Amino acid sequence: MRLSLVVSTSDAAFDALAFKGDLMKGVKMAKQIGYDAVEIAIRDPSTVDVEELKELLYELRMPVAAIGTGQAYLADGLSITAQDVSVRNRAMERLKSHIDFASIFNAKVIIGLVRGKRDKRALDEVLELFVESLKELADYAEKKGVELVIEPLNRYETDFLNTLEEVKSVLESLNRKNAGILADTFHMNIEEVSIEESITKCGKWIKHFHVADSNRWAPGAGHLNFASILKALHDTGYDGFVSVECLPLPGGSEASARLAFKTLQSILKEF
């Protein structure tokens, strides 16, 4: 397993980012600290200078672990389960542009907040829309050689697909080889009875992994047992990235990114 840091384009609306602001500066900081890769949260890929980013990543020898898409929901209100068909269509087009972008960097695409909320609709109705949209996106992504990862989010951020087991059930009905689970320790700490047991049960479906401590601060600043959690993940055979997505606490962006790296690296080196 290797470590990744979530960085963002300057138009990020999401607070839970260890570093948001100048994208290039964030990539350089991640490299300087010792991270193996970056994960990039992007509202709209058309706003990113792809060639400049490619040049920097090549120079630093930094791969891109995944592309975050939640800004499309937070900043632009786009959702693939929206009641308004025009909003759904725009969300689909935006996500296809994320997939195109990810294909350049051999990165995964995250389906998290962009799934939207039920908005008092029946769960079956929303899940039907979600699966229908995901099938189209997964088929599009397959042609580009891109994997999609669906992130269970806690109940305070959305009102469906809150646990790993719930996402696993959707993936089974989706039946697409290029789709899996993005497990996040912050959300699991709220929703799962046991983080380790849920990882073990859903291990074969986990294709990406987010870490933040119990308070959404940097790992090492809360009460989660990352040695136990990462051991459970390691025992499933997972060999992907462990990606830090946390508030810039304690001490600000760089200090929190350094604490996370120190905490996690000391554990991962044992594996």
Task: Give the residue numbers marked as catalytic.
Answer: 151, 245
CA distance linking residue 98 with residue 80, whole number of Å: 14
Question: Could you tell me the sign of the dihedral formed by the alpha carbons of 122, 125, 129, 130, in that order?
Answer: positive
CA distances from 63 to 55, 60, 237 (A): 12, 9, 21
Query: Closest Cα partner for 11 from 24, 1, 21?
Result: 21
Q: Report the distance separating Cα 187 and Cα 81, nearest Å.
A: 21
Q: What one-character-per-residue DSSP string does 170-230 give?
A: HHHHH--TTEEEEEEHHHHHHH-S-HHHHHHHTGGGEEEEEE--TTSS-TTSSS--HHHHH
Residue 122 has phi, psi (to 5 degrees) of -65, 145
Which amino acid is present at 181?
A: I
Q: How crowded is residue 120: how many other Cβ atoms within 10 Å of its Cβ?
A: 7
Task: Estimate the share of the chain in helix, then strand, then coil, as percent rounded to the nearest 5.
Answer: 50, 15, 35
Report whether 170 contacts 144 (CB < 8 A).
no
> How many Cα atoms sit within 13 Å of 53 on the Cβ side?
23
